Amino acid sequence: MQSGALTGLAHRPRGLFCLSRWRERARARVQALALALLLSGCGGSHPVQTPAAGPSAYQLTILHLNDHHSHLQPRSATLQLDDSSGRRVPVAVQVGGFARVVGALDALAAGKPNVLRLHAGDALTGTLYFDRAGAPGAADAALMDVACFDAFAVGNHEFDKGDTVLRGFLDQLATGRCPTPILSANVRFGASSALHPSRAPGLVQPSVVLRRGGQDIGIVGLTVAYKTRVSSSPDPDTQFEDEAEAAQREIDRLTARGIDKIVVLSHIGHAAERRLAERLRGVDVIVGGDSHTLLGPPGLARAGIGTPVADYPVRTRNADGQPVCLVQAGEYAQVLGELRVDFDARGQVLECSGTPHVLVGDDMQVDGQPPAPALRQSLEASRTALGFLRVTEPSAAALAALAPFEARVAAFARTPVAHAPEELCARRVPGGPGSRDHGRSSAACNAEGRVDRHGGDIQQLVAQAYLDMARLRYGGADLAMQHGGGVRTPLLGTVTGEQLIGVLPFGNTLWRLQVSGAELRGMLEDGIEAVWGPRGSTGPYPYVAGLRFTVDVTRPRGERIAQLQFHDVARDVWVPLEPPRTYRLFVPEYTARGGDRHLTLAGVPPERRLDIGVLDADLLLDWIERQPRDTATGLPLLRRLDEGRYSTWHFTDERTSR
């Protein structure tokens, strides 16, 4: 993270589509167009045609959140504010936290007649509160109940622990003090799923109709289909329909009932939501999630929040040629969106506007101290002038709901559990300067060159921990594999329980598969193809303990892995991998089920797979506790593995092959 930027909110800017006038008389259209051409700063390749709003028959306010990922506590951040001379001053503040979200929801809704509170999915996975505070998602459900959302769209990470665990979380949402409608128009729960309609009738609905100010508003939910199938853990027979087809079918059903105001509560990502808007008929608003997209004015970047992708809201047209307003609110309970939409008497959008409120506390620190009164006054003026920094008191009710969960995780989170005297560098994919994942590692790690040759230290260490513990406690294994994207952070210095969970935040159990040498080669080729093939991403790159190989990504698919050698522990020698031989592979459930397009592992039949049931982070902690102790701190020592134990023995890409 760059200094002063809120985690993950910086995105590459993209062009905007500006709206043209859609229903005015000829003279008004010409006047509006002339005014827009003089005053508008909207960019992009389309001509600027911003309409003058006609009389509003109805105004709807939508308060929205997405992708809070179990981030229930506030975090420290550094803002860039101006003093009285215009000099930029780094100011430390508290940002976000779910109690602050609830406080903002209540304050922004007060006195407004037509308000919706919407959550666009991915409530779960990402901090200790997900699965170290009781049942998975219990803390999130309790806080969301206090927030009293009017609808929640199921996100891909809701499926991270399967349909049965998701059922427990959704039951809490649906039966709390403020029951929340749970939406997804494109999920089809399998016959064996705990969420199949025969077992959970009405729990997940395609849409809901909410009445505000005498008007009906249809809310349609969407879950990202492809990503959930390949990057989460839905039950094998749970299916996901094409998002646009499912949304259009539900919109048509609602409009046939005479409902003329349609909001799609979408968890498919901002770029996909823009494409979706232009494909759909009848849609007015898309409240989005999944891509963690920050929208808003350029001042967000200057203030150190992050670079917005576009203005808030984004405006485009649907398949009918009518206006659509799109919004998203960053991530991690740091931003609460407030969208105002004006409709005419026929339910068509006249205008939309709003603010992405970055929720901050009132306390300020400059150089570790409260600012002097005169400086604080100028910093407060700068904060107010920006327009998007909202000083918000946490909700007392939300703090009370959080307290019992906080107590459960506090002791573990604060406890030092290990010491890493040298940085265990993070890198999903090997490669030198200019390669696709080079920037993930610190400058110090990149300067050493080891991660360029072999990939991440922490990724390889996790795989080795799996293998060692499988041999020690869980019936044995010959190999263990961890995909690079499942290991999230490097480690250096004193490591706390919270930092340890941050390394493996997704809560996978470990499985043992019986696989042939040929299937192991297929597993590796699957991982490499998922990185360098069409629609590739860095997460699937394989790290294997007990195996080493060379990678040449310039070769055709199926020929990129060579010189596979298996570590014969009994003789402590490396020997060629034998294609017909059966090997015991320890692997996270996510990968065992075919996540990240590991199709070879997904094809292993049931009789050759066993869910061991141990949580990945718990296994890692168990392994850490068995390491030699640091004489100074008394903590277990975490050291880099010998380079000969890294699975990527030699790496070749387009740069190194020249």
Q: Please report which confidence band the pLDDT of residue 54 belongs to, taking 50, 70 and 90 as the band edges.
A: low
| Residue 187, Ramachandran bin (φ over 0: left; ψ between -120 and 50: alpha; else beta) | beta
User: What is the predicted pLDDT for the residue at 19?
Assistant: 27
DSSP secondary structure letter of residue 310: B
Q: Please report which confidence band the pLDDT of residue 656 belongs to, taking 50, 70 and 90 as the band edges.
A: low
Q: Please report which confidence band the pLDDT of residue 541 belongs to, taking 50, 70 and 90 as the band edges.
A: very high
Mean pLDDT, range 169-177, rounded to an integer: 97
Query: For residues 597 and 526, is the Cβ–Cβ distance under 8 A?
Result: yes
b/e per residue, 397-418, with b = 16+ CB within 10 A? bbbebbeebbebbeebbeeebb
User: What is the predicted pLDDT for the residue at 176?
Assistant: 94
Secondary structure of 357-381 as H, E, C letters: EEEECCCCEECCECCCHHHHHHHHH
How many angstroms separate the CA atoms of 76 and 97, rounded?
Answer: 10
Q: Among positive and negative, which fits the CA dihedral 191, 192, 196, 201?
A: positive
Q: Please report which confidence band the pLDDT of residue 39 belongs to, taking 50, 70 and 90 as the band edges.
A: very low
Task: Quote the distance between the C-alpha of residue 262 and its chain's center.
Answer: 26
How many angstroms separate the CA atoms of 528 and 547, rounded?
Answer: 15
Residue extents of the structural domains in the chain: 26-408, 415-652
b/e per residue, 195-220, with b = 16+ CB within 10 A? bbeeebeebbbbbbebebeebebbbb
Of the two residues 10 and 83, the one the predictor is more confident about is: 83
User: What is the predicted pLDDT for the residue at 231?
Assistant: 64
Other Cβ atoms closer than 10 A to 385: 11
Mean pLDDT, range 225-246, rounded to an integer: 90
How many angstroms separate the CA atoms of 336 and 328, rounded?
Answer: 9
State yes or no: pLDDT of 609 exceeds 50. yes
Residues 6+ apart with CB under 8 A from 627: 418, 636, 637, 638
State yes or no: pLDDT of 23 exceeds 80. no
Class of domain 415-652 (CATH, top level): alpha beta
Tokens of 379: 């910093």
pLDDT mean across residues, the chain: 89
Tokens of 245: 């087809």
- Amino acid letter at 86? G
Determine whether 177 is exposed, middle or buried from the number of CB atoms within 10 Å of its CB (0-12, 13-18, 19+): exposed
User: Which SS3 state, helix, strand or coil, does residue 285 take?
Assistant: strand
How many angstroms separate the CA atoms of 140 and 162, rounded?
Answer: 17
User: What is the predicted pLDDT for the residue at 655?
Assistant: 62
State yes or no: pLDDT of 654 exceeds 80. no
User: What is the predicted pLDDT for the residue at 613?
Assistant: 62
User: What is the predicted pLDDT for the residue at 520?
Assistant: 98
Q: Where are the alpha helices (DSSP H) in 264-345?
A: 270-279, 299-302
Q: At what angle do helices 98-109 and 396-414 cross, to 10 degrees?
A: 170
Give me the residues paired with residue 339 across strands. 62, 354
Please name the residue that has the structure tokens 């306390």.
363
pLDDT digits (tens, 9 = 90+) for 405-443: 999 988 888 899 999 999 999 999 998 787 777 777 788
Mean pLDDT, range 531-542, rounded to an integer: 88
Mean pLDDT, range 175-191, rounded to an integer: 98
State yes or no: pLDDT of 247 exceeds 70. yes
Q: Where are the alpha helices (DSSP H) in 391-516?
A: 396-414, 443-448, 450-454, 457-473, 497-503
- Amino acid letter at 249? R
Closest CA to 600 of 484, 521, 510, 533: 521
How many angstroms separate the CA atoms of 177 and 167, rounded?
Answer: 18
User: What is the predicted pLDDT for the residue at 240?
Assistant: 98
Work out the end-to-end distance of the chain between its first and last CA atoms, rounded to an integer number of angstroms. 32
Class of domain 26-408 (CATH, top level): alpha beta
513 φ, ψ (degrees, to nearest 5): -115, 145
pLDDT digits (tens, 9 = 90+) for 343-368: 999 999 999 999 999 999 999 999 99
How many angstroms separate the CA atoms of 5 and 606, rounded?
Answer: 46
DSSP secondary structure letter of residue 628: P
How many angstroms separate the CA atoms of 524 and 482, rounded?
Answer: 11
pLDDT digits (tens, 9 = 90+) for 204-233: 999 999 999 999 999 999 999 988 886 678
Determine whether 25 is exposed, middle or buried from the number of CB atoms within 10 Å of its CB (0-12, 13-18, 19+): exposed
Closest CA to 66 of 5, 154, 142, 138: 154
State yes or no: pLDDT of 6 exceeds 70. no
CA distances from 237 to 193, 573, 595, 607 (A): 8, 43, 15, 18
DSSP secondary structure letter of residue 629: B
Closest CA to 185 of 104, 239, 131, 144: 239
